[in-house]
Chain A
Amino acid sequence: MLTVTPHHFLILAFLLVGIGFLGLLVRRNVLLMLMSLELMLNGINVALLTFSKVGNNLDGGIFVFFIMTVAAAEVAVGLALLVALYKKRNSVLSDDMAYLKN
């Protein structure tokens, strides 16, 4: 019988981080990039919680809590910035925002 070990959780967490990172790299839509970031954070949350559970230590869980807090704040600010940018540039593509150079 296949038992679920912590390793399976960790592999899944790493995959989530990897997929998030892939999204971050390949998408040009800043909205989608933000979403990918959230996905990466979720992967990290899963890993943290796994360690917390297996190590019998609540610190990891509390960290997950903090990460959620920070992520929510980050999304709010990020989206506000995005809206501000969109109103200036009329686009949400990262290529159109590359005007720091030149």
Chain B
Amino acid sequence: MVFSKNPVTAAMFMIISLVGVAALFVLLDSFFLAVLQVLVYAGAVMVLFLFIIMLLDVGPDVAKQKITHWRFGILGVLLSSLLVVVLISLGLPSDFSGANNPSWPVLSDAISSGSESLLFSTKVSAFGYGLMTKYMLPIQIAGFMLLISMVGVIILSKKVARGEDV
């Protein structure tokens, strides 16, 4: 996806990887999230991307140009491989019991101090319960944020229209 010249191709690859991630979710027993992943990401977000790609018509013309500066290319490869190495070397916990994990003191504190913990479940109702009890405030904030982003998008697209008139 990263190195494909045509943005449409890249988007297609992206969809494939998103569906793959959905499959991983299924492997992790999170069926609800897998469905959401397909619906929201593959369904809505990527369609939006494709739609914009076509609206802006950035296909072939842009594709002919170099996709990157070589300096950033080299730096990017170096940095991102460094990132992966660091993450893998530091980020893999030796055991997953949480509280007694020595390499993540901050995390283990956070886990052990959690007041009420929701047990993992495959059921959608468990999600609903968690969202409506412990995460009541966050979900309201998220809803409000969605509203704001909607308003923002509308205003942004209006402004451009006015700019064209002038």
User: What residues of chain A have their CB less than 8 Å away from a CB belonging to chain B?
Assistant: 4, 6-7, 9-12, 14-19, 21-29, 31-32, 34-36, 38-39, 42, 45-47, 49-59, 61-62, 64-66, 68-77, 79-84, 86-88, 92-93
- Docked Cα-Cα span, A77 to B24, in Å, equals 28
**Chain B residues touching A, range:** 35 or more
Chain A binding site: helix, strand, loop or mixed by DSSP?
Answer: helix
Counted as pairs of residues, one from A and one from B, with CB atoms less than 8 Å apart, the total is 219
Q: Is the CB of B127 within 8 A of A61?
A: yes
- Neighbouring B residues of A54 by C-beta, 8 Å: 96
Residue among B21, B67, B96, B119 making CB contact with A26, cutoff 8 Å? B67
| B-side contacts of A70, CB under 8 Å | 142, 145
A46 CA to B41 CA in the complex, in Å?
Answer: 14
Given A26-B68, A38-B14, answer yes or no on A58-B126 (Cβ-Cβ < 8 Å).
yes
Evaluate contact between B76 and A62: CB separation under 8 angstroms: no
Contact A25 B76 (CB under 8 A): yes
Contact pick for B72, options A25, A71, A72, CB 8 Å: A25
Interface of B is mostly: helix
Given known A29-B7, A31-B49, contact A80–B2 (CB-CB < 8 A): no
In the bound complex, CA of A16 to CA of B10 (Å): 15
B80–A25 touching, CB < 8 Å:
yes
Note all chain B residues with C-beta closer than 8 A to A77: 149, 152-153, 156
Q: Given A14-B91, A58-B121, A83-B157, decide whether A22 and B2 contact each other with a Cβ distance below 8 A.
A: yes
Map CB proximity to A onto B57-92 as digits: 1 under 8 Å, 0 otherwise: 010001001111100110111011101100110011
**A29-B7, A53-B120 are known contacts. Are A15 and B84 too (CB-CB below 8 A)?**
yes
Q: Report whether A14 and B98 are in contact in the complex, using a CB–CB cutoff of 8 Å.
A: no
